[in-house]
Structure 1
Amino acid sequence: MKWLIGSIILIVVVLIAASVDFFIGRYVHEKKTRHSSYPVRNGHLQLITSGPDLFSNYFDDLYKAESSIHVLFYIVKNDRFSELFFEILIDQARKGIKVRLLLDWFGSREVSKKLIKKARSAGVEVTFCHRPRLPFFFFSLQQRNHRKVTIIDGKIGYVGGFNVGKEYIDLDPVLSPWRDYHLRIKGEGIFDLQSEFLMDWEQATGNSHLEDHSLFPPLEKGPMPHRFFPTRGIDAEEEILRLINQAEKRIFIGTPYFIPPEKLVEGLMQAIQRGISVSILVPNKSDHPIVKEASLHYLRKLLGAGGTVYQYEDGFFHAKVILIDGRICDIGTANFDYRSFKLNYEINCFIYNQDFIEETERIVQEDINLSSKLSVEDLADPPFSFRLKGWAGMLLKSFL
């Protein structure tokens, strides 16, 4: 009995210490974190939704690089496709191209040490970011750099939802086909994308390259106005709430994980009350335990208020997209959940070009056509095991 009481006391003390660490750590982070703000730029944007199509273009651009390759991924797996990715970077570094690869410590923890050693020996600068650190170990353990960004020669950029691994090119039998949205970008905005990468690189390594003018070549304007919106666990909630409050006719949100902070839930509920059409698209399949179950609490509320919810049935839906009134399109790395809004480093792109938005709306409609429409009745009486996972998800919603 003494052993049991002692164990319970120890667990309670650890939980209290972790909670204090987390909340004080986040408070300190919010106070000292710099805010990035970029103007509207003009360029060329291409939306790619298939992994094989994306990486065909992506690898071709990497092979054509002439001076520099800067890459940041949240996840690089330990599989044959990830080895191919490393091999391309190694080949380019051996040709004299400056290659910098920044990986999230947690998301890319499976990458083989042997492969990293080989890349470094070839001249690739490989660094892991967001390692846990004192004094707020538990808080820093929860933070992720969730960005997926590439800048080639300071002229071509990629940003979006795809990571590097076999599931992203439809080779996972459970999650295939993988549906995601990724942007290939040229034009003025690459200056901002490069700046953000170099700030992340400096934070991880202590080395600044922001004054290296060779990394910022002259850039031509294009026909598509857009604005990059980077976040570091702050600002995102308020910015998305502003978009929701500006809506006059319709709001569409596509996301793999729908566990939003209460401010955004309230904003969507108020939008419905104003007569605005609010539609949510989420996957039916799940790639994480209890996340789907936790999302049902919020989806049930929106359905009850008059919103529309679709579940994607043709594989796994991992895209992050928001459409407002057919005049603003948001595509990037942030999910519609606590982690992306309040913990992760993310970067999204707000796009204002009508042709691009219409094309995105067409693609979204294709995804809706491959989805089932949920009703209040569908979520009214889930099995007890489902409810139990949902309760656990609600308790852990800040960390999912």
Structure 2
Amino acid sequence: MEIARTIAFIIFIILILLWIDYKWGQAQHRKKTKKKTYPLRRSNIKIFNSGPKLFYDLFTEIEHAQKHIHILFYIIKNDQFSQQFVALLKQKAESNVEVRLLVDWVGAHKLSKKIIRELKQSGVHFSYCFKPRFPFFFYTLQRRNHRKITVIDGKIGYLGGLNIAKEYVNQDNKLNPWRDYHIKIKGEAVQDVQSTFLTDWYMATKEDLRIHPHYFPPLSPGTQKQQLIVTDGWGVEGIFLDLIDQAEEKIVIGTPYFIPSKRLFNKLRQALHKGVALTIIVPKTTDHILVKEASYRYFRVLEKEGATILQFHRGFYHAKVMLIDDQISDIGTSNFDKRSLFLNSEINALLFDSISIEQTKKYVEVDITESAPINEKAYKKPNAFHKLKEAIAFYLSPFL
């Protein structure tokens, strides 16, 4: 009995210390963090809603690169598709193209030391970002660089939700097919993607390449209007609040995880009360524990107040998309959860032109046709066990 009490006391002390580390680290980080909103740009935008199409296009552009390739991914694994990607980067580096690969320390933990060594031997400049550090080890362990961006020769940019692993190209039986959104940019906004990568590279390596003009070649404006917004642990909540505020007729949200802040939850309820139609699409199949349970308490309230809550049933739904009144589209790396709102580094593109809006609308309508209302017993009539899981999920929601 005495041993059990001692163990319980030690666990309690550890939890208190972790909580202090997290809250203090968060407070210190927030003091020095600002949202970066780039000017309104004109570019040509292509939207992808599947991994195979995106990566065929991306790999083709990488093969044609002549000067430099800058890539940041949250996840790179060690499977056959990842090895294909690595082989392409090695080939380009060996042909005297500058190649830089930046990956998140946690997200890319499955990338083997052997592959990293081979990349470096081929001439690829490689670095991890967001390594945990003291004095706020637990907090910095939670903070992740969730951006997925590529810049080729300073003239072509990509950003969105797709990473490098077999599931993203429909090679995982459980999560197949994988639905996601990614955009390709040609035009003025590429300089903003480049600036974001080079800033992240500097933070990881202390090598400042932002002063070199050859990474920022002259860019001809495109025909479509967009604005990129970069956040580092704070700012996503403000973006979403502003978008919801602008809605007069309808809001569509596509996200793999729906765990809103209190302010966002209340803002969505206000939109419903003033007659705005709200549709939320989430996956039926999940890739993380407790994320369904964490969302259920919000869904019940929103559904009761008039929202349409749908589960995507044709594979796994990893989209990060918002559509406001068929006037504004938001596509990027931010999920509708507390990690993206308050922890992760993200990049989002606000699209304002009719071409981008129509393409987003077309894809979202397909998502809706391949979804259905939640009809699970755990949601409709939760028993004591399900209620316990929801309670646990609620308290763990900042970390899910």
How does the TM-score come out when normalised to structure 2? 0.98
Cα deviation, 1:184-215, whole Å, max 9, x if unaligned, reads 11100001110011111111111110001110
- Matching residue of 1:352: 352
Aligned to 1:145: 145
Alignment coverage as a number of residue pairs: 400
The unaligned stretches of length 5 or more in structure 1 are none
* Partner residue, 2:279: 279
**Is the CA contact (8 Å cut-off) linking 1:303 and 1:376 kept in structure 2?**
no
Task: Spell out the pairing of 1:152-171 with structure 2 (5 A cutoff).
Answer: 152-171=152-171
TM-superposed deviation, 1:298: 1.1
Summarize deviations over 1:229-273 as a string: whole Å, max 9, x none: 110011111121011111111111000000011100000000000
CA contact (8 A) 2:34 2:235 kept: no
CA distance in 1: counterparts of 2:383 and 2:314, whole angstroms: 24
C-alpha distance in 1, partners of 2:70/2:386?
Answer: 43
Partners of 2:317 and 2:35 lie apart in 1 by: 30
Q: 3-state DSSP class of the match of 1:398?
A: helix
In the TM superposition, what is the alpha-carbon distance from 1:387 to its structure 2 partner? 2.8
SS at match of 1:185: strand
3-state SS in 2 of match to 1:336: coil
Matched-pair identity in %: 44
Q: Find the counterpart in structure 1 of residue 314 from structure 2.
A: 314
Q: Is 1:338 aligned with 2:338?
A: yes
Q: CA–CA distance in 2 between the matches of 1:34 and 1:241?
A: 17
Are the aligned partners of 2:70 and 2:99 in contact in 1 as well (CA < 8 Å)? yes
Q: Which residue of 2 aligns with 1:253?
A: 253
User: What is the alpha-carbon distance in structure 2 between the residues aligned to residue 103 and residue 352 of structure 1?
Assistant: 30
Alignment of 1:288-303 (within 5 A): 288-303=288-303
Within-5 A mapping of 1:353-368 = 353-368=353-368
Match of 1:38 in 2: 38
Q: Which amino acid aligns with 2:226?
A: H
In the TM superposition, what is the alpha-carbon distance from 1:382 to its structure 2 partner? 2.4
**1:376 Cα deviation (Å)?**
11
**Cα displacement (A) at 1:385:** 3.7
For 2:359, what is the secondary structure of its paired residue? helix
Matches within 5 A, 1:107-256: 107-256=107-256
Partner of 1:28: 28
2:73 counterpart residue number:
73
One-letter code aligned to 2:130: H
Q: Comparing 331-340 with 292-301, which one deviates more in the overlay? A: 292-301
Counterpart residue number, 2:12: 12
Distance 1:280 1:149 in 2: 26
Question: 2 CA distance for matches of 1:336 and 1:114?
Answer: 36
Aligned residue number for residue 386 of structure 1: 386
Aligned partners of 1:252 and 1:40: how far apart in 2? 23
Q: Matched residues in 2 for 1:220 and 1:74: separation? A: 30
Distance in 2 (CA, whole Å) between partners of 1:305 and 1:106 is 39
Where does the alignment leave 5 or more consecutive residues of structure 2 unmatched? none
The residue number in structure 2 matching 1:398 is 398
